[in-house]
């Protein structure tokens, strides 16, 4: 049986207490609830709190957490996922200049 292949894993600090952590795997079988062969988690963490996260856990499918709100996410490829996450990160940074 094929194994999952790590595509990307990184942590980048944007400010002293603010970082993004991105992990993307190519998986041999789609996760339950997702229609693609990727497993991902992308998080923006500020002062120890996860303030933004995109992920696709089994059974829930693709979704986005922004604060306490969780909404479905329409996955259209890894490049678009990274672009959408980056746009939300930039928006959060603009709205939280001290965060």
pLDDT at 59: 85
Give CA–CA dist 69/50, Å, rounded: 12
Q: pTM for the full model?
A: 0.92
pLDDT at residue 1 above 70? Answer: no
pLDDT at 51: 97
On the 0-12 / 13-18 / 19+ scale of CB atoms within 10 A, 73 is middle
2 confidence band (pLDDT: 50, 70, 90): confident
Closest CA to 34 of 54, 60, 1: 60
pLDDT at residue 48 above 70? Answer: yes
Give yes or no for a contact between 65 and 53, defined as CB atoms under 8 angstroms apart. Answer: yes
pLDDT at 98: 80
């Amino acid at each position: 049986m094929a194994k999952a292949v790590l595509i990307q894993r990184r942590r980048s600090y944007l400010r002293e207490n603010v970082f993004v952590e991105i992990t993307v795997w190519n998986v041999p079988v789609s996760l339950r609830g997702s229609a693609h062969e990727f497993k991902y988690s992308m998080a923006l963490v500020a002062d120890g709190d996860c303030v933004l996260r995109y992920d696709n856990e089994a059974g829930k499918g693709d979704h986005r957490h922004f604060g306490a709100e969780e909404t479905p996410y329409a996955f259209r490829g890894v490049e678009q996922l990274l672009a959408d996450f980056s746009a939300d990160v930039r928006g959060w940074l603009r709205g939280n200049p001290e965060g």
